[in-house]
Amino acid sequence: MKKIKNILMIGLLSFAGVGCSDFLEVTSDQELTYDTFYKTASDCRSATAALYNAVWFNFNSKFMWEIGDARANNMYIDLATYASSVFNRFMETSNTDDLENGWDALYSVIGQADHILNNIYRASDNGVDAEVVNACKGEARFMRGVAYWYLACIWGNVPIVEDPVQLSGNFVVHSNHREDVLQYAIRDLEFAAANLPKSDEPGRLTRYSALGMLSRLYITAACYARGGNFTPERYETNPDFYYQKAAEAALTVLEEGTQYSLMSDYEQLFRVQNNNNPESLFALQWVPGSTVYGVGNRLQLNLCYSTEMLGGLKAYGGSGYLSAEFVELMHNRGELSRKRATFFYTGAVYDYIGTDTDAGKWVVSGRSMCNVKKHIVGGTKDTDGGAVAENSGLATPMLRLAEVYLLYAEAVLGTGNEIDATTVEGRKALQYFNRVRERARDKEAEEPNEALADLDKLTLNDIWVERRCELAMEGQFWYDIVRRAFWDKEWVLDFLNNQNRGYKYTYNGTTFKWGKSDGREAKPATEERLLLPYPLNEATMNPLLREEPAHFDIAEE
What is the C-alpha R_g of the chain?
23
pLDDT of residue 419: 97
Q: What is the pTM of this model?
A: 0.96
Please say whether the beta carbons of 332 and 508 come within 8 A.
no
Residue 150 in this model has a pLDDT that exceeds 70: yes
Residue 354 maps to a domain: yes
Kindly compute the dihedral angle of the four CA atoms of residues 461, 467, 468, 470, in this order, to the nearest 10 degrees.
140
Q: What is the pLDDT of residues 507-551, one digit of tens each?
A: 999 999 999 999 999 999 999 999 999 999 999 999 999 999 999
Residue 281 maps to a domain: no
Same-domain status, 313 and 452 = yes
Residue 241 maps to a domain: yes
pLDDT of residue 15: 39
Q: What is the pLDDT of residues 431-446, one digit of tens each?
A: 999 999 999 998 877 6
- Give CA–CA dist 54/393, Å, rounded: 13
Residue 17 in this model has a pLDDT that exceeds 90: no
Residue 29 in this model has a pLDDT that exceeds 50: no
Q: Residue 127 sits in a domain of what CATH number?
A: 1.25.40.390
Same-domain status, 248 and 347 = no
Mean pLDDT is highest, among 34-48, 154-168, 466-480, for 466-480
pLDDT of residue 126: 96
Residue 192 in this model has a pLDDT that exceeds 80: yes
Ramachandran angles phi, psi of 3, nearest 5°: -80, -10
pLDDT of residue 14: 39
Q: Give 5 or 469, the one with higher predicted confidence.
A: 469
pLDDT of residue 36: 80
Residue 169 in this model has a pLDDT that exceeds 90: no
Residue 16 banded pLDDT, cuts 50, 70, 90: very low
pLDDT of residue 449: 85
Please say whether the beta carbons of 60 and 299 come within 8 A.
yes
Same-domain status, 254 and 311 = no
Q: What is the mean pLDDT of the chain?
A: 93
pLDDT of residue 171: 82
Query: Of the candidates 191, 185, 179, which has an alpha carbon nearest to the alpha carbon of residue 237?
Result: 179
Range with the lowest mean pLDDT among 34-43, 240-249, 513-522?
34-43
Residue 197 banded pLDDT, cuts 50, 70, 90: very high
Residue 93 maps to a domain: yes
Q: What is the pLDDT of residues 386-440, one digit of tens each?
A: 999 999 999 999 999 999 999 999 999 999 999 999 999 999 999 999 999 999 9
Same-domain status, 126 and 86 = yes
pLDDT of residue 10: 44
Angle at the Cα of 383 from the Cα atoms of 380 and 389, rounded to 5 degrees: 35
Same-domain status, 50 and 157 = yes
Contacts of 447 (CB under 8 A, 6+ apart): none
Residue 237 maps to a domain: yes
Structural domain of residue 128, as residue ranges?
45-272+531-546
Ramachandran angles phi, psi of 507, nearest 5°: -150, 130
Angle at the Cα of 26 from the Cα atoms of 24 and 27, rounded to 5 degrees: 150
Same-domain status, 455 and 334 = yes
Residue 196 maps to a domain: yes
Residue 450 banded pLDDT, cuts 50, 70, 90: confident
Same-domain status, 541 and 495 = no
Contacts of 450 (CB under 8 A, 6+ apart): none
Number of domains composing the chain: 2
Ramachandran angles phi, psi of 514, nearest 5°: -70, 140
- Give CA–CA dist 255/441, Å, rounded: 24
Residue 418 maps to a domain: yes
- Give CA–CA dist 460/474, Å, rounded: 20
Q: What is the pLDDT of residues 315-362, one digit of tens each?
A: 999 999 999 999 999 999 999 999 999 999 999 999 999 999 999 999
The DSSP symbol for 60 reads: I
Residue 4 banded pLDDT, cuts 50, 70, 90: very low
Residue 27 in this model has a pLDDT that exceeds 60: no
- Give CA–CA dist 176/157, Å, rounded: 5
Residue 290 banded pLDDT, cuts 50, 70, 90: very high
Same-domain status, 334 and 465 = yes
Range with the lowest mean pLDDT among 16-30, 75-89, 326-340?
16-30
pLDDT of residue 40: 96
Same-domain status, 327 and 250 = no
Mean pLDDT of 445-468: 92
Same-domain status, 137 and 165 = yes
DSSP 225-253: HHTT-S-TTTS---HHHHHHHHHHHHHHH
pLDDT of residue 557: 67
- Give CA–CA dist 359/380, Å, rounded: 17
Query: Of the candidates 271, 496, 310, which has an alpha carbon nearest to the alpha carbon of residue 390?
Result: 310
- Give CA–CA dist 209/220, Å, rounded: 17
pLDDT of residue 260: 98
Residue 20 maps to a domain: no
- Give CA–CA dist 318/306, Å, rounded: 7
Same-domain status, 197 and 324 = no
Angle at the Cα of 332 from the Cα atoms of 328 and 336, rounded to 5 degrees: 95
pLDDT of residue 21: 59
Same-domain status, 462 and 346 = yes
User: Mutual orientation of helices 401-413 and 460-471 as an angle, nearest 10°?
Assistant: 170
pLDDT of residue 32: 57
